[in-house]
Amino acid sequence: MSLPRVHLIATGGTIAGVADDPAATTRYQAGSLAGHALLESIPEAHRAASISIAQPFNLDSKDLGPGHWLQLARDVSSALADPAVDAVVVTHGTDTLEESAFLLDRLLPPGKPVVMTCAMRPASAHSADGPLNLLHALRVAASGATREAGVVAVVNERIHAASRLRKGHSHALDAFEHGDSAIGWSDPPGLDGRPEVPARMPSLLGRLDELPRVDVLWVGAGSEPDLLAASISHGARAIVLCLPGNGSLPETWSDAVHKALACHTVVVRASRTGRGRVARQPDDGGRLFAAGRLGPAQARVALMLALAGGLAPDHFFY
């Protein structure tokens, strides 16, 4: 029997990182190894799938931006359209995985599995987590277990829904286990239930040349509201406010927000807590929205997509 064909797209990150000391877990160069080198460390993978490899870039994910996201979305989309390809796996840095995963989840067609993976320790470290994460990602993809579940990330033996993914720790191996994104296990591959898959719009990808500027402003006690006007003057079409608690807007920001709305800028109330929902308030409406279940990083991507596509700003919120 022929093996499932999995297309591996390597984009960099710590999973491809190298340090000169095998004990180093925080000082290393991300995006050093090519995709074929990652695959060489897990020869068992070839028993699970027939694997092709592409490497559109090899970067630390902090250095990615909308241009890379759209390129990645197009590469994954072309691979999915190939009748010979059964699933796609993407290796990526952990730092901005939530943005890329969210964008892919909204723009790719349902059906064939798309599995992202990453690592907290560089490939050169003793007890590196990358090889097992990649092997599990390839096995999950080849198994078809996440077909119809949208884009997922396989990390530290868990399967996470891209729509809820949040990196919640700066250096722990279980950096993605502090939210509510886990929907299954990778060994053996299986989902705990049928995950909710929010609105997707694959037809949008072909219409996107670039994404508009959307800024995120982190609001602390006593933060100055003049940051809003500065963002708008630099071209932001929408602003996500990363607010205390349940997206609670300080009184001192009220005038600045109303001025921004009057200038046709979209303003979204998100929470800086990292978990939970931001509930609608009586003042929401028009161009002011609550982020709902989206974290600030995801709300920013959702707004970029919606504004670029001429959709309602909250089209991708849920």
Identify which of residues 133 and 265 has a Cβ nearer to ligand SIN in the complex.
133
Report the sign of the C-alpha dihedral through residues 187, 190, 193, 198, in that order: positive
**Chain centroid offset of residue 170 CA:** 16
- Cβ-based neighbour number of residue 284 at 10 Å: 17
Active site residue 14: yes
Q: Is 99 a binder of ligand SIN (CB under 6 A)?
A: no
Q: Residue 18: CB partners within 8 Å, gap ≥ 6? A: 28, 29, 32, 33, 122, 123, 124
Contact (CB, 8 A) for 300 and 99: yes
Give, for 72, the enclosing helix (H) or strand (E): helix 66-81
With contacts defined by CB under 6 A, name the span among 35-43, 93-101, 200-208, 295-303 that binds ligand SIN. 93-101
Q: Which stretch binds ligand SIN (CB under 6 A): 91-99, 102-110, 194-202, 261-269?
A: 91-99
Q: Is residue 93 involved in binding ligand SIN (CB under 6 A)?
A: yes
Q: Is 14 in the site for ligand SIN (CB under 6 A)?
A: yes
134 binding ligand SIN? (CB under 6 A): no
Q: Please enumerate in sequence order all residues whose Cβ is within 8 A of that of 205, keeping only pairs 6 or more positions apart, or say none.
A: 70, 73, 74, 77, 107, 108
- Select 12 or 198, whichever has its Cβ closest to ligand SIN: 12
Position closest to ligand SIN via CB: 93
Around 148, how many Cα atoms within 13 Å sit in the side-chain half-sphere? 7
Q: Toward ligand SIN, which CB reaches closer, 64 or 79?
A: 64
Contact in structure between 181 and 165 (CB atoms under 8 Å): yes
> For tokens 């989840």, what's the residue?
105
Report the DSSP pairing between strands 214-218 and 189-191.
unpaired
Among 94, 156, 186, 265, binds ligand SIN (CB under 6 A): 94
DSSP assignments along 132-176, one per residue: HHHHHHHHHHHHTTTTTS-SEEEETTEEEEGGG-----SS-TTTT
Residue 214 Cβ vs ligand SIN, minimum distance, rounded to whole Å? 20
C-beta closer to ligand SIN: residue 27 or 47: 27
Binding status of residue 95 toward ligand SIN by CB under 6 A:
yes
Nearest distance from residue 12's CB to ligand SIN, in Å?
6
19 binds ligand SIN (CB under 6 A): no
Enumerate residues 41-80 that contact ligand SIN by CB under 6 A.
60-62
Residue 10 is a binding residue for ligand SIN (CB under 6 A): no
Q: 112 to 131, contacts with ligand SIN by CB under 6 A?
A: 118, 120
Minimum distance from residue 295 beta carbon to ligand SIN (Å): 16
13 counts as binding ligand SIN under rule CB under 6 A: yes
Size of the site for ligand SIN (CB under 6 A): 12
Of the residues 11, 14, 91, 94, which is catalytic? Answer: 14
What are φ and ψ of residue 229, in 5° steps? -65, -35
25 binds ligand SIN (CB under 6 A): no
Token digits of residue 222 = 């006593």
Stretch of residues binding ligand SIN (CB under 6 A), selected from 7-15, 72-80, 213-221, 263-271: 7-15
- Is residue 300 a contact partner of residue 279, using CB atoms and an 8 Å limit? no
Q: Which residues bind ligand SIN (CB under 6 A)?
A: 12-14, 30, 60-62, 93-95, 118, 120
Active site members: 14
